[in-house]
């Protein structure tokens, strides 16, 4: 299989970390989002949506959406489990994963996309045509990230990981969200979020975090 990847972007990193945790490696192809390589005819002929990550299986099947790709990898290589092991843990982890994505990553992406000059006519990711950035969305994205930090800090005051006692896909989404918000959107973890900082140091020390 072949992973179409983009080094600086948070969603492809989620898949790279997921693979590293499972010890899966495959050929990767870098696609430069900043210069619009994901909107080239060549890439759109692989994924007409023009988004990364995109995984192409050996039989030619094309998968996109980080969680769908992760689901495929979890099913084909169940150990170590990153998406739960029984009905309750699977549902809990899926819920927490979605909280990280909807309550954090989308806000961080809005904050970046709607303020970065290079994306002034690329307000939506991928092959969506010209869509103007909306500065108010950048401001709201910042508010979302601030709330995300506070809520996650509270949760981590009584849990080791983002979905309870076990490292899971929810931690991967949260780590990529925090690092993207701190880097691209210049929204670092606030000093008073000590539990979030403890967790961040812990998961950043895993080998997979370098992926
Ligand atoms: N919901 C999708 C989001 C994919 C996405 O938006 N990826 C970004 C990179 S993080 C992208 O491809 N951006 C292309 C662009 O900005 O044109 C997923 O989870 O994979």
Structural domains of the chain, with CATH:
2-76 (3.40.30.10), 87-210 (1.20.1050.10)
Tokens representing residue 10 in the block:
């948070």
Tokens representing residue 190 in the block:
């606030």
The pLDDT of residue 76 is 98
Per-residue pLDDT band at 28 (split at 50, 70, 90): very high
Per-residue pLDDT band at 202 (split at 50, 70, 90): very high
pLDDT digits (tens, 9 = 90+) for 90-147: 999 999 999 999 999 999 999 999 999 999 999 999 999 999 999 999 999 999 999 9
* pLDDT mean over 145-157: 98
Mean pLDDT taken over the chain: 98
Distance 53 CA to ligand 1 centre (A): 7
Query: If residue 200 lies in a helix (H) or strand (E), which one and from where to where?
Result: helix 194-204
pLDDT digits (tens, 9 = 90+) for 116-130: 999 999 999 999 999
* CA gap 204, 15 in Å, rounded: 16
Give the sheet arrangement for strand 27-30, strand by strand. Answer: 27-30, 2-5, 54-56, 62-64
State percent of the chain over pLDDT 90: 100
Tokens representing residue 205 in the block:
């020390």
Does residue 51's CB lie within 6 angstroms of at least one atom of ligand 1?
yes
Q: Where are the beta strands (DSSP E) in the chain?
A: 2-5, 27-30, 54-56, 62-64
Distance 146 CA to ligand 1 centre (A): 22
Distance 114 CA to ligand 1 centre (A): 15
Does residue 55's CB lie within 6 angstroms of at least one atom of ligand 1?
no
Does residue 10's CB lie within 6 angstroms of at least one atom of ligand 1?
yes
* CA gap 196, 16 in Å, rounded: 22
At 107, phi and psi to the nearest 5? -65, -45
Does residue 104's CB lie within 6 angstroms of at least one atom of ligand 1?
no
* CA gap 68, 47 in Å, rounded: 15
Q: Is the dihedral of CA 176, 179, 181, 183 positive or negative?
A: negative
The pLDDT of residue 197 is 98
pLDDT digits (tens, 9 = 90+) for 159-192: 999 999 999 999 999 999 999 999 998 999 999 9
* CA gap 91, 97 in Å, rounded: 10
In this structure, are strands 27-30 and 62-64 parallel, antiparallel, or unpaired? unpaired
Rg (CA), the chain: 17
Distance 67 CA to ligand 1 centre (A): 12
In sequence order, the 6+-apart residues with CB closer than 8 A to the CB of 140 are: 107, 110
The pLDDT of residue 135 is 97
Distance 199 CA to ligand 1 centre (A): 26
Query: If residue 186 lies in a helix (H) or strand (E), which one and from where to where?
Result: none
Does residue 133's CB lie within 6 angstroms of at least one atom of ligand 1?
no
* pLDDT mean over 46-56: 98
* pLDDT mean over 23-37: 98
State percent of the chain over pLDDT 70: 100
């Amino acid at each position: 299989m072949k992973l179409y990847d983009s080094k600086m972007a948070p969603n492809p990193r989620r898949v790279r970390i997921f693979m590293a945790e499972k010890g899966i490696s495959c050929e990767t192809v870098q696609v430069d989002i900043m210069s619009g390589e994901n909107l080239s005819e060549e890439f759109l002929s692989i994924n007409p949506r023009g988004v990364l990550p995109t995984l192409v299986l050996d039989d030619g099947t094309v998968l996109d959406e980080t969680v769908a790709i992760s689901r495929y990898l979890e099913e084909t290589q169940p150990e170590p489990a990153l998406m739960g092991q029984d009905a309750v843990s699977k549902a809990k982890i899926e819920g927490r994963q979605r909280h990280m994505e909807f309550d954090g990553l989308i806000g961080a992406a809005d904050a970046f996309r709607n303020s970065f000059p290079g994306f002034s006519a690329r307000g939506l990711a991928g092959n969506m045509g010209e869509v103007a950035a909306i500065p108010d969305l950048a401001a709201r994205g910042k508010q979302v990230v601030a709330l995300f930090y506070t809520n996650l800090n509270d949760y981590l005051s009584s849990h080791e990981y983002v979905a309870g006692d076990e490292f899971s896909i929810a931690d991967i989404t949260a780590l990529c969200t925090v690092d993207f918000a701190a880097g691209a959107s210049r929204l670092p973890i606030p000093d008073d979020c000590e539990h979030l900082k403890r967790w961040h140091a812990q998961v950043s020390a895993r080998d997979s975090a370098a992926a």
